[in-house]
Amino acid sequence: MKPTTKYWLSMMLAGTLAFPVWATEEITENDIISGTMNIDFKTRTNRDKSGKFADGSSVLGVKDEYKVNMRVAKTTEFSGTILRQPKVKIKLIGTEAQAGVLQYDLALAVLNPKDLNQKKNVGKWVGIAPMDASNTFNFAGSKENELRITVDTMGNAQGFTDKFAGALVGKQDKGENWQDKLTSYTFERVIGTKKVKLEAKKVDPVQFKNVELAKGPSSIYPHTTVNGRMDFDYQTGNWYLNNMRFKYNLDGKDVEDVVSGTIKWVEDPQRATNGKGKYDFNVRFNEDKFAAQTTEADAFGNMNDEEAFFAVDNRVPSLTGQVDYLETMVAGSEAPTASQVTYKLNANKLTKQQIMNFYKLWMLTVGPINDE
């Protein structure tokens, strides 16, 4: 008898008694994270005109809206809305009139790996992450509406609620002389026996301090703790992943993934009029374990340091591909008022857990990543 949709969904959520083979095998496949995120920067089109608040502030209560429709690791779908309320300060005295907040309302669906047309909503990613005066998001900071993943009971799979926690220190405020607070940083990469360096001169780090990623939506995706940094370079628009460590327990074994690499911003030459740009992903997992597999005489030997630093090496487990931006630009401003974002990211020798963990963390950084 052919298994029913309900059977497959319950087995996926429960993970059976042990993780099935397909849940832990390495995947090499295009569009492993795909879909769209449409952003309406309402805070940029609803500016305060009273003069009471700091220059450039939005009207109180106005929020940016991120509409998400994305598929991750082929068998999980996220759809819904993330709202971002900015911090607003009273002019001159600098006290807060409004705190910053991220609010999540995402439906979670799982798909039958044997038939991706079979899909069912199984839970939600919901709750609030407040931001304090130092631009730190506290993912366990809302007592009334905790940030969490909640999955319903289905078949053999017992429902659960698991919470996010930890802190994300975001980019600094763009107040008076804010660029003077930026730092320079030299990033290093080893390709076989060749060490390449790249100096970024205007760096602003986003720091992850014991960030806890809630488990789910199925049991193959465990609760995970993340520490490390993603450094943003204002001169280039590039992100550099700096000693990011994901720790979790998978089928009774402790696992640590060290994530490094780059996310390079590439602008269309006519971006000021056509609004086009993209992020080129070259995110590497446990690179040090694979460094010895290449030598200076290999494909990267004739590259200069900058070319080698951004080069993709398919012998290393990685997340590559691009995220395309089509933005509504305003004359005289570099910041768009709306963005149509399309994800086309590819997996090279990655597990579903590595893919899902990176996606969850990326969604937690939705503000700093997109706020120009």
Tokens 């080129």, located at residue? 280
Strand partners, 321: 281, 345
Classify residue 24 as exposed, middle or buried by CB count within 10 Å of its CB (0-12, 13-18, 19+).
Answer: middle
Q: Which two tokens stand for residue 222?
A: 């465990």
What pLDDT, on a 0 to 100 scale, did the predictor assign at position 282? Answer: 95
What pLDDT, on a 0 to 100 scale, did the predictor assign at position 16? Answer: 41
Give 267's contacts (C-beta < 8 A, 6+ positions apart): 237, 276, 277
What pLDDT, on a 0 to 100 scale, did the predictor assign at position 300? Answer: 62
Helices (H) and strands (E) in the chain, counts: 8, 19
Give 136's contacts (C-beta < 8 A, 6+ positions apart): 167, 168, 169, 170
96 neighbors 134 (Cβ within 8 angstroms): no
Please identify every stretch of the chain with a pLDDT value under 70, giving residue numbers as ranges: 1-23, 176, 191-193, 291-302, 332, 372
pTM of the model: 0.91
| Ranges of each domain in the chain | 26-49+61-172+179-370
What pLDDT, on a 0 to 100 scale, did the predictor assign at position 93? Answer: 84
Q: Which amino acid is at 173?
A: D
User: How close are the terminal C-alpha atoms of the chain, in Å?
Assistant: 55
